[in-house]
Amino acid sequence: MYVGRVMHTDLVTVPPETTLVEAMEILNEKRIAHLLVVDKKNKLLGLVSDRDLKQNWASPATTLSTHELNYLLTKVTVNMIMIKKYVSVTPSTTIERAALVLQEHRIGALPVMEGDKLVGIITTTDVMGVLLEAIGIDKESTRFTVLVYDRIGYVAEISQVLKDLKINIRSIFAWPDKKNLGIYHLVMRVPSRDGEKAISALKKGGFNVLTEHVQDLTPYLPKA
């Protein structure tokens, strides 16, 4: 899956002279968390989030009266607080790469650019939704983990056991165990009606299957 398939193209943009008050009103009205700041030629200048607005809203000027504070806020514009050195991706960026960029930079959204042209925006919510759909969590299914050594053929062997029983694999992904070198957690989902049958067949086939969290994995580690 690529960013271009998921990004929002109905962009909400504001000019740099937009005040904090106006920006907050737009965010609340549109029920979004980020605004793209553009110039008259629609060139992206920066990005401002609801967090940026809230941080600047609660300024050190707390001794001011409500009238004075409201007046001050109408004079502060988004170009004064926006992120000018923004991180962007292209429509061809993969979803997993976008997720990594969001995590590494600890940000909530990425402008999507084609050269100098702003074509979309993608948020952590969008990325999370795609990843959750990819692992099948939005469907009625049974989840279990097979502990395996990192070797050629283990996915084919597990798939064959389930194929013989005509059990469909709805999703499958793996991640390495940080404490046991060479061990992978192969997380699988099958239709709920086939869950018990799949787990039983894999155990009989000599695979180490987990259906719940265990503190000590030692008894479940596969033999080399």
Residue 93 pLDDT = 97
Q: Are residues 92 and 188 in the same domain?
A: no
To the nearest 10°, the Cα dihedral for 78, 79, 85, 86?
40
Q: Are residues 121 and 167 in the same domain?
A: no
Distance (Å, rounded) from C-alpha 88 to C-alpha 104?
13
Contact 122, 3 (CB under 8 A): yes
Contact 57, 22 (CB under 8 A): no
Name the domain boundary from 90, 114, 132: 132
Domain that holds residue 69: 3-132
Distance (Å, rounded) from C-alpha 123 to C-alpha 119?
14
Q: Are residues 46 and 24 in the same domain?
A: yes
Residue 59 pLDDT = 54
Sign, CA torsion 61/62/68/72: positive
Residue 86 pLDDT = 92
Q: Are residues 9 and 119 in the same domain?
A: yes
Q: What angle do CA 139, 142, 143 make, to 5 degrees?
A: 100
CATH number of the domain bearing residue 112: 3.10.580.10
Tally of domains in the chain: 2
Q: Are residues 115 and 145 in the same domain?
A: no
Name the domain boundary from 108, 132, 156: 132
H runs (alpha helix) in the chain: 3-6, 20-30, 50-57, 66-73, 95-105, 124-134, 154-164, 195-204
CATH number of the domain bearing residue 209: 3.30.70.260
Q: Walk along the chain (224 residues) and give the pLDDT tens digit of each residue.
A: 899 999 999 999 999 999 988 999 999 999 999 999 999 999 999 999 998 888 877 555 455 555 556 666 677 899 998 999 999 999 999 999 999 999 999 999 999 999 999 999 999 999 998 888 877 776 688 999 999 998 889 899 999 999 999 999 988 988 899 888 899 999 999 999 999 999 999 999 999 999 998 888 888 888 76
Write down the pTM of the prediction: 0.75
